[in-house]
Structure 1
């Protein structure tokens, strides 16, 4: 099977999977207990006004009719109107998505680079004290409870030492100051990013390091590594140019899926740090029965995860010549 045929077949599978996910999510939200209108009703609203609101939201129509209408609108690029914000869901997602991508993509890439680099080094020094110490540290990072480490960093670096802002993404006084330059505003965003970025780095770093170390140890036992040593190649060249690239393949999978799942914004992280991203909106939408917004967020996550799996599989073929589709 050629690569193009493989991609075409996977795209068909992705389309079927997306349709199943779409149907399941729609039924899950619309059959779940809770009344979104009850959260929106003004105390002074009459029964007639309430019925009019229900009709405007389309909640008075049969479930099947609502489903077909949603599917048709979806393929037109219309995700509906948020019950709470009264704005198109696509606009809300477009406003929040860059914030999530900025924070979580940066965290995943930095932790992957650090994890791969340190993982290959300690695997090369297996059994030494540095290997034991770093591996234990990685295990601790990997098993950290995210809200706990986030609150600890807020208390220590934000509250006690006052080095970094505790919540939010920007400082209002900086962004409304007409004298503030673009560089000043960018530095303000970076200043707010430090605590959530450090939290995510610690959580992901341990996982990537352990994966790289395990894969590197398996690779070092391959015949071509012994052949390279028999040829008299320098040890650093064997480690960096022969063993590490192949050992990094499992990390590529992990990084690809981490980037995909990071689109949901890591709801806990965004909630703790009040970071205005997709994750926080997703939690809010589910908690307040805002069906259109919740559906839009979940469908975005589904599409990105499905496509990320395809990209990782195709990338494997370029990274490892032994893989054929």
Structure 2
């Protein structure tokens, strides 16, 4: 099977899976307890006003009618208006998306770089003290409970030492200051991003290290490594230019999938650090029965995850000539 045929087949599969995801999301949100009107109505609102509000949202229609409108809106890119904010859902998500991409893409790239670097060293020094310490550190970081670590980071670095802000993404006094330039504002964002970034790097770099170490150990058994040694190449050259690039392939897959799933913003991370991203908005929309916003957020995550899987498969074929579709 050629690569083009493989891509077209996968795109067809993605279309079917996405349709199933759309349907499941529609049903799940309608079966969830509570309704948006009960959370939005004023205590003084009369039953007639509540009924008019339901009609304006289209929630008085039969489920099958709501479902048809839902499919039509998704097909046309009209994800509706948020029940809570009263704004178009796409506008809300597009405002939050850059914040999520900034934090989580940076953390994943840094985690992967650290994991690959220390993973190849651990594998190269297998059985030595360096390998033991790196492996134990990776296992410890990998098993940390994220909310606990986040709260510890806030307590120590923000509250006790006072080096970083406790929550949020920006300092209002900086952004309303007409004399603050782009560099000052960028540094303010980085200052707020430091704690969640360190937390995410500590949580994730251990898994990349373990994957790289395992893959590197398998690669070191291959014949071309023995051939490279027979040619008289230095150990550093063999490690960095022959073994490490091939051993990093599983890490590439892991990074690709992590980047895809990171678009949900890590609901726990964004909630603990009050980071205004997709994950925090997703938690809020689900807890407040904001159907359009929650459905759009889940669909955005589904699209990115499905397409990222396809990109990783195609990228694998380019990185490893032995793989053919």
**If the TM-score is normalised by the length of the shorter chain, which range does it land in?**
over 0.9
Show the 5 A alignment for 1:169-248: 169-248=169-248
The structural deviation recorded for 1:238 is 1.1
Distance 2:300 2:157 in 1: 34
In structure 2, what is the equivalent of residue 271 of structure 1? Answer: 271
Unaligned runs of 5+ in 2: none
State TM-score, norm by structure 2.
Answer: 0.99
- Does residue 1:121 correspond to 2:121, yes or no? yes
Asked if 1:20 is matched to 2:20, the reply is yes
Q: Aligned equivalents of 1:235 and 1:201: distance in 2?
A: 29
Over residues 171-218 of structure 1, what are the superposed CA-to-partner deviations in whole Å (9 max), with x where a residue is unaligned? 000000001111000000000000000000001100100000000001
SS in 1 for 2:166: coil
Residue by residue, what CA displacement relative to the aligned partner does 1:16-50 show, whole Å, maximum 9, x if unpaired?
Answer: 11001110111010122112110000122121111
Partner of 1:297: 297
> How far did residue 236 of structure 1 move?
1.2
User: Which runs of at least 4 in structure 1 moved beyond 4 Å after TM superposition?
Assistant: none
Q: Tell me how many residue pairs correspond in the alignment.
A: 325
Distance 1:78 1:14 in 2: 21
Match of 1:144 in 2: 144
| Aligned counterpart, 1:100 | 100
Q: How far apart are the structure 1 equivalents of 2:22 and 2:227?
A: 52
CA distance in 2, matches of 1:16, 1:244: 38
* In 2: Cα distance, 1:245 partner to 1:180 partner: 44
What SS is found at the alignment partner of 1:299? helix
What residue in structure 1 maps to residue 59 of structure 2?
A: 59
Aligned CA RMSD, in angstroms, stands at 0.7
Any idea what the Cα deviations from partners look like across 1:301-320, whole Å, max 9, x if unmatched?
10000011001000001110
Task: Using the TM superposition, name which of 234-243 and 142-151 deviates more.
Answer: 234-243
The whole-number CA distance in structure 2 between the counterparts of 1:43 and 1:122 is 63
Please give the TM-score of this superposition, normalised by the length of structure 1.
0.99
SS for the counterpart of 1:192 is: helix
